[in-house]
Amino acid sequence: MAALAGAALSTGDARGVLAQAVPPPPAPPRPAAPSDGAHVEAATEHLREMWHSLVRADNLFGPRHALAAVRQQLHLLDHLLGQAGGEQRVELLRLAARYAESAAWLHEDSADLPNASAWTGRAMEWATESGDQAMVAWTLFRKSQQATTRGNAAQSVSLAQAVLRNEPVLTPSMRASALQQAAHGHALDGDERACHSLLDEAHSFAASTETKGDARSGHGDFCTPGYIEIQRANCWLALRRPDLAVPVFERTLDHIPDAYQRDKGFAQARLSKAYAETGRYEESAESAASALATARSSGSLRTMHETVAAVNVLGAAHTSPAVTMLFDSISDEPEF
Protein backbone atom coordinates (compact mmCIF):
# COMPACT_ATOMS: atom_id res chain seq x y z
CA MET A 1 0.00 0.00 0.00
CA ALA A 2 1.40 3.41 -0.93
CA ALA A 3 2.49 5.62 1.91
CA LEU A 4 0.60 8.81 2.59
CA ALA A 5 2.32 11.95 1.36
CA GLY A 6 2.13 13.51 4.82
CA ALA A 7 4.52 10.95 6.25
CA ALA A 8 7.43 12.64 4.50
CA LEU A 9 6.80 15.68 6.66
CA SER A 10 8.65 15.45 9.94
CA THR A 11 7.48 17.80 12.67
CA GLY A 12 10.54 19.92 12.02
CA ASP A 13 9.97 20.18 8.28
CA ALA A 14 6.25 20.86 8.22
CA ARG A 15 4.99 24.39 7.88
CA GLY A 16 1.47 23.39 8.96
CA VAL A 17 -1.34 25.84 8.64
CA LEU A 18 0.23 28.68 10.63
CA ALA A 19 3.25 29.73 8.61
CA GLN A 20 2.76 33.45 9.09
CA ALA A 21 5.81 35.49 9.97
CA VAL A 22 6.25 36.52 13.59
CA PRO A 23 4.39 38.39 14.97
CA PRO A 24 1.35 36.72 13.39
CA PRO A 25 -1.38 38.89 11.84
CA PRO A 26 -4.17 39.79 11.90
CA ALA A 27 -3.98 41.92 15.03
CA PRO A 28 -7.05 42.96 16.99
CA PRO A 29 -7.84 46.65 17.31
CA ARG A 30 -5.57 48.53 19.68
CA PRO A 31 -7.12 49.06 23.11
CA ALA A 32 -7.44 52.49 24.59
CA ALA A 33 -4.29 53.66 26.31
CA PRO A 34 -4.29 52.93 30.04
CA SER A 35 -4.91 56.07 32.01
CA ASP A 36 -2.60 55.37 34.94
CA GLY A 37 -0.34 52.90 36.69
CA ALA A 38 -3.25 51.29 38.50
CA HIS A 39 -4.85 50.46 35.16
CA VAL A 40 -1.64 48.84 33.92
CA GLU A 41 -1.31 46.87 37.15
CA ALA A 42 -4.90 45.60 36.90
CA ALA A 43 -4.42 44.66 33.25
CA THR A 44 -1.21 42.79 34.10
CA GLU A 45 -2.90 40.78 36.83
CA HIS A 46 -5.81 39.94 34.54
CA LEU A 47 -3.45 38.73 31.81
CA ARG A 48 -1.46 36.70 34.34
CA GLU A 49 -4.60 34.81 35.39
CA MET A 50 -5.65 34.46 31.77
CA TRP A 51 -2.30 32.81 30.97
CA HIS A 52 -2.94 29.99 33.45
CA SER A 53 -6.36 29.43 31.87
CA LEU A 54 -4.83 29.35 28.40
CA VAL A 55 -2.18 26.82 29.45
CA ARG A 56 -4.89 24.57 30.84
CA ALA A 57 -7.05 25.04 27.72
CA ASP A 58 -4.09 24.04 25.56
CA ASN A 59 -3.44 20.90 27.60
CA LEU A 60 -7.10 19.92 27.49
CA PHE A 61 -8.07 20.93 23.97
CA GLY A 62 -4.96 21.63 21.91
CA PRO A 63 -3.67 24.49 19.76
CA ARG A 64 -6.82 24.93 17.71
CA HIS A 65 -8.56 26.43 20.75
CA ALA A 66 -5.69 28.32 22.34
CA LEU A 67 -3.56 29.94 19.64
CA ALA A 68 -5.95 32.71 18.64
CA ALA A 69 -6.32 33.79 22.27
CA VAL A 70 -2.55 33.79 22.82
CA ARG A 71 -2.09 35.99 19.76
CA GLN A 72 -4.62 38.50 21.06
CA GLN A 73 -3.03 38.66 24.49
CA LEU A 74 0.44 39.10 22.99
CA HIS A 75 -0.83 42.03 20.97
CA LEU A 76 -2.30 43.60 24.10
CA LEU A 77 0.95 43.03 26.02
CA ASP A 78 2.95 44.64 23.25
CA HIS A 79 0.71 47.70 23.52
CA LEU A 80 0.99 47.82 27.31
CA LEU A 81 4.78 47.59 27.08
CA GLY A 82 4.70 50.80 25.10
CA GLN A 83 2.84 52.52 27.96
CA ALA A 84 4.62 51.20 31.05
CA GLY A 85 7.96 51.94 32.65
CA GLY A 86 10.00 50.95 35.66
CA GLU A 87 8.93 47.90 37.67
CA GLN A 88 5.60 47.70 35.83
CA ARG A 89 7.46 47.23 32.56
CA VAL A 90 9.61 44.51 34.14
CA GLU A 91 6.51 42.60 35.24
CA LEU A 92 4.93 42.99 31.81
CA LEU A 93 8.09 41.73 30.13
CA ARG A 94 8.11 38.65 32.32
CA LEU A 95 4.48 37.96 31.52
CA ALA A 96 5.04 38.60 27.80
CA ALA A 97 7.88 36.04 27.87
CA ARG A 98 5.46 33.45 29.26
CA TYR A 99 2.95 34.17 26.52
CA ALA A 100 5.65 34.07 23.84
CA GLU A 101 6.84 30.67 25.10
CA SER A 102 3.24 29.45 25.00
CA ALA A 103 2.93 30.73 21.41
CA ALA A 104 6.10 28.82 20.57
CA TRP A 105 4.66 25.58 21.92
CA LEU A 106 1.32 26.08 20.16
CA HIS A 107 3.09 26.61 16.84
CA GLU A 108 5.22 23.54 17.48
CA ASP A 109 2.13 21.45 18.19
CA SER A 110 0.72 22.85 14.95
CA ALA A 111 3.76 21.42 13.11
CA ASP A 112 5.18 24.89 12.47
CA LEU A 113 8.75 24.72 13.79
CA PRO A 114 9.99 27.97 12.17
CA ASN A 115 7.43 30.07 14.06
CA ALA A 116 7.98 27.97 17.17
CA SER A 117 11.68 28.78 17.05
CA ALA A 118 10.99 32.46 16.42
CA TRP A 119 8.63 32.77 19.38
CA THR A 120 11.08 30.92 21.62
CA GLY A 121 13.69 33.51 20.65
CA ARG A 122 11.23 36.30 21.45
CA ALA A 123 10.52 34.74 24.86
CA MET A 124 14.25 34.55 25.58
CA GLU A 125 14.70 38.20 24.57
CA TRP A 126 11.92 39.43 26.86
CA ALA A 127 13.05 37.19 29.72
CA THR A 128 16.62 38.48 29.41
CA GLU A 129 15.45 42.10 29.36
CA SER A 130 13.41 41.56 32.52
CA GLY A 131 16.09 39.62 34.37
CA ASP A 132 13.94 36.47 34.58
CA GLN A 133 16.74 33.92 34.57
CA ALA A 134 14.38 31.02 35.24
CA MET A 135 12.53 31.82 31.99
CA VAL A 136 15.83 32.21 30.15
CA ALA A 137 16.72 28.70 31.33
CA TRP A 138 13.33 27.43 30.27
CA THR A 139 13.71 28.82 26.76
CA LEU A 140 17.01 26.92 26.55
CA PHE A 141 15.05 23.78 27.44
CA ARG A 142 12.55 24.55 24.68
CA LYS A 143 15.37 25.09 22.19
CA SER A 144 16.73 21.68 23.20
CA GLN A 145 13.34 20.13 22.48
CA GLN A 146 13.30 21.77 19.06
CA ALA A 147 16.79 20.46 18.36
CA THR A 148 15.54 16.95 19.18
CA THR A 149 12.65 17.40 16.75
CA ARG A 150 15.21 18.30 14.08
CA GLY A 151 17.26 15.21 14.97
CA ASN A 152 20.27 17.23 16.18
CA ALA A 153 21.68 15.03 18.95
CA ALA A 154 24.65 17.21 19.91
CA GLN A 155 22.58 20.38 20.24
CA SER A 156 19.85 18.56 22.17
CA VAL A 157 22.41 17.54 24.78
CA SER A 158 24.37 20.79 24.95
CA LEU A 159 21.28 22.97 25.31
CA ALA A 160 19.92 20.71 28.06
CA GLN A 161 23.28 20.98 29.81
CA ALA A 162 23.05 24.77 29.49
CA VAL A 163 19.74 24.61 31.38
CA LEU A 164 21.35 22.59 34.17
CA ARG A 165 24.10 25.20 34.58
CA ASN A 166 21.43 27.61 35.86
CA GLU A 167 21.46 25.85 39.22
CA PRO A 168 20.29 28.77 41.42
CA VAL A 169 16.99 29.22 39.57
CA LEU A 170 16.07 25.63 38.77
CA THR A 171 13.08 24.03 40.46
CA PRO A 172 13.08 20.22 40.80
CA SER A 173 10.65 19.83 37.90
CA MET A 174 12.80 22.09 35.68
CA ARG A 175 15.80 19.91 36.49
CA ALA A 176 13.82 16.75 35.72
CA SER A 177 12.72 18.24 32.39
CA ALA A 178 16.29 19.13 31.41
CA LEU A 179 17.66 15.72 32.43
CA GLN A 180 15.13 13.78 30.37
CA GLN A 181 15.72 16.16 27.48
CA ALA A 182 19.46 15.44 27.57
CA ALA A 183 18.53 11.75 27.56
CA HIS A 184 16.78 12.24 24.22
CA GLY A 185 19.93 13.68 22.72
CA HIS A 186 21.97 10.68 23.88
CA ALA A 187 19.33 8.34 22.47
CA LEU A 188 19.58 10.06 19.09
CA ASP A 189 23.34 9.54 19.34
CA GLY A 190 22.92 5.84 20.12
CA ASP A 191 24.28 6.08 23.68
CA GLU A 192 21.91 3.79 25.57
CA ARG A 193 23.74 3.86 28.90
CA ALA A 194 23.94 7.67 29.16
CA CYS A 195 20.32 7.98 28.05
CA HIS A 196 18.83 5.73 30.70
CA SER A 197 21.12 6.95 33.44
CA LEU A 198 19.77 10.48 32.89
CA LEU A 199 16.18 9.24 32.86
CA ASP A 200 16.75 7.44 36.15
CA GLU A 201 18.20 10.62 37.63
CA ALA A 202 15.24 12.66 36.35
CA HIS A 203 12.90 10.57 38.50
CA SER A 204 14.52 12.05 41.60
CA PHE A 205 13.16 15.48 40.63
CA ALA A 206 9.84 14.57 38.98
CA ALA A 207 6.78 16.79 39.35
CA SER A 208 3.73 15.83 41.37
CA THR A 209 1.13 13.62 39.73
CA GLU A 210 -1.52 15.98 41.13
CA THR A 211 -0.75 18.62 38.48
CA LYS A 212 -3.80 20.40 37.05
CA GLY A 213 -2.00 21.28 33.81
CA ASP A 214 -2.10 25.05 34.35
CA ALA A 215 1.59 25.60 35.24
CA ARG A 216 0.72 27.20 38.60
CA SER A 217 3.43 25.10 40.22
CA GLY A 218 6.05 26.41 37.81
CA HIS A 219 7.95 25.39 34.70
CA GLY A 220 8.01 21.67 34.01
CA ASP A 221 4.99 20.68 36.09
CA PHE A 222 4.15 18.22 33.29
CA CYS A 223 7.35 16.25 34.02
CA THR A 224 5.73 13.64 36.26
CA PRO A 225 7.09 10.10 36.78
CA GLY A 226 4.69 8.88 34.09
CA TYR A 227 5.91 11.52 31.65
CA ILE A 228 9.51 10.48 32.23
CA GLU A 229 8.65 6.85 31.54
CA ILE A 230 6.84 7.80 28.33
CA GLN A 231 10.06 9.56 27.33
CA ARG A 232 11.98 6.38 28.17
CA ALA A 233 9.77 4.53 25.71
CA ASN A 234 10.37 7.24 23.09
CA CYS A 235 14.10 6.91 23.70
CA TRP A 236 13.89 3.16 23.15
CA LEU A 237 12.32 3.91 19.77
CA ALA A 238 15.14 6.34 18.96
CA LEU A 239 17.58 3.59 19.97
CA ARG A 240 15.78 1.26 17.51
CA ARG A 241 14.48 -1.06 20.20
CA PRO A 242 10.70 -1.07 19.68
CA ASP A 243 10.54 -4.39 21.52
CA LEU A 244 11.66 -2.60 24.69
CA ALA A 245 9.55 0.49 24.00
CA VAL A 246 6.25 -1.44 23.87
CA PRO A 247 6.10 -2.66 27.50
CA VAL A 248 7.08 0.78 28.82
CA PHE A 249 4.30 2.43 26.80
CA GLU A 250 1.80 -0.23 27.87
CA ARG A 251 2.40 0.10 31.60
CA THR A 252 2.58 3.92 31.56
CA LEU A 253 -0.11 5.23 29.22
CA ASP A 254 -2.93 4.84 31.72
CA HIS A 255 -0.99 6.87 34.31
CA ILE A 256 -0.76 10.07 32.27
CA PRO A 257 -2.61 12.78 34.25
CA ASP A 258 -6.05 13.73 32.94
CA ALA A 259 -4.78 17.23 32.18
CA TYR A 260 -2.44 15.85 29.51
CA GLN A 261 -4.69 13.71 27.34
CA ARG A 262 -3.20 15.17 24.15
CA ASP A 263 0.20 13.89 25.26
CA LYS A 264 -1.46 10.52 25.67
CA GLY A 265 -2.62 10.69 22.04
CA PHE A 266 0.92 11.43 20.87
CA ALA A 267 2.21 8.49 22.91
CA GLN A 268 -0.46 6.23 21.40
CA ALA A 269 0.84 7.14 17.94
CA ARG A 270 4.35 6.20 19.03
CA LEU A 271 3.06 2.95 20.54
CA SER A 272 1.28 2.18 17.27
CA LYS A 273 4.60 2.46 15.45
CA ALA A 274 6.32 0.25 18.02
CA TYR A 275 3.56 -2.37 17.69
CA ALA A 276 3.89 -2.34 13.89
CA GLU A 277 7.67 -2.74 14.09
CA THR A 278 7.27 -5.77 16.36
CA GLY A 279 4.59 -7.48 14.28
CA ARG A 280 1.60 -6.72 16.49
CA TYR A 281 -0.45 -5.31 13.65
CA GLU A 282 -4.00 -5.33 15.01
CA GLU A 283 -2.86 -3.61 18.20
CA SER A 284 -1.00 -1.10 16.06
CA ALA A 285 -4.17 -0.28 14.16
CA GLU A 286 -6.14 0.14 17.39
CA SER A 287 -3.55 2.52 18.89
CA ALA A 288 -3.35 4.52 15.67
CA ALA A 289 -7.13 4.95 15.63
CA SER A 290 -7.04 6.32 19.19
CA ALA A 291 -4.21 8.70 18.32
CA LEU A 292 -6.06 9.87 15.22
CA ALA A 293 -9.14 10.70 17.29
CA THR A 294 -7.02 12.79 19.69
CA ALA A 295 -5.27 14.59 16.84
CA ARG A 296 -8.58 15.52 15.25
CA SER A 297 -10.26 16.71 18.43
CA SER A 298 -7.28 18.83 19.50
CA GLY A 299 -6.07 20.14 16.15
CA SER A 300 -2.58 18.85 16.96
CA LEU A 301 -0.80 18.43 13.62
CA ARG A 302 2.22 17.19 15.57
CA THR A 303 0.14 14.23 16.74
CA MET A 304 -1.41 13.83 13.29
CA HIS A 305 1.99 13.61 11.61
CA GLU A 306 3.15 11.04 14.15
CA THR A 307 0.01 9.01 13.51
CA VAL A 308 0.58 9.14 9.75
CA ALA A 309 4.14 7.89 10.26
CA ALA A 310 2.85 4.98 12.35
CA VAL A 311 0.16 4.07 9.83
CA ASN A 312 2.71 4.11 7.01
CA VAL A 313 4.93 1.67 8.93
CA LEU A 314 1.90 -0.50 9.58
CA GLY A 315 0.66 -0.34 5.99
CA ALA A 316 4.05 -1.32 4.58
CA ALA A 317 4.02 -4.52 6.65
CA HIS A 318 0.41 -5.58 6.86
CA THR A 319 -2.88 -5.28 5.01
CA SER A 320 -6.25 -5.68 6.68
CA PRO A 321 -9.64 -3.94 6.63
CA ALA A 322 -8.64 -2.01 9.76
CA VAL A 323 -5.48 -0.71 8.08
CA THR A 324 -7.38 0.24 4.92
CA MET A 325 -9.90 2.17 7.03
CA LEU A 326 -7.07 4.07 8.73
CA PHE A 327 -5.55 5.09 5.40
CA ASP A 328 -8.93 6.18 4.08
CA SER A 329 -9.65 8.13 7.25
CA ILE A 330 -6.33 9.98 7.22
CA SER A 331 -6.65 10.69 3.50
CA ASP A 332 -9.77 12.68 4.29
CA GLU A 333 -7.71 15.15 6.35
CA PRO A 334 -7.11 18.41 4.39
CA GLU A 335 -3.41 18.49 5.39
CA PHE A 336 -2.79 15.17 3.64
Quote the pLDDT of residue 212. 58
Q: Are 290 and 270 in contact (CB under 8 A)?
A: no
Q: What percent of the chain is modeled with pLDDT above 90?
A: 60
Q: Are 295 and 329 in contact (CB under 8 A)?
A: no
CA distances from 48 to 99, 135, 284, 305 (A): 9, 15, 42, 33
pTM of the model: 0.84
Mean pLDDT of 146-175: 97
Who wins on pLDDT, 27 or 242? 242
pLDDT at residue 29 above 70?
Answer: no
215 in the Ramachandran plot: left (φ > 0), alpha (ψ -120 to 50) or beta?
left
Range of the domain at 228: 133-256
Mean pLDDT over the full length of the chain: 85
Residue of 87, 61, 120 lying closest to 296 (CA atoms): 61
Quote the pLDDT of residue 52. 79
286 domain residue, yes or no: no
202 domain residue, yes or no: yes
d(Cα 266, Cα 294) in Å, to the nearest integer? 8
- The CATH number of the domain holding residue 156 is 1.25.40
Alpha carbons within 13 angstroms on the beta-carbon side of residue 264 total 21
177 domain residue, yes or no: yes
Q: Are 273 and 307 in contact (CB under 8 A)?
A: no
73 domain residue, yes or no: no
d(Cα 73, Cα 50) in Å, to the nearest integer? 9
319 CB-near residues (< 8 Å, 6+ apart)? 1
d(Cα 121, Cα 51) in Å, to the nearest integer? 19
Number of domains in the chain: 1
**pLDDT tens figures, 211-263:** 655 556 678 988 999 999 999 999 999 999 999 999 999 999 988 877 788 88
160 domain residue, yes or no: yes
178 domain residue, yes or no: yes
DSSP string, 297-312: HHT-HHHHHHHHHHHH
Degrees, nearest 5: CA angle 170-172-173: 100
Quote the pLDDT of residue 5. 35
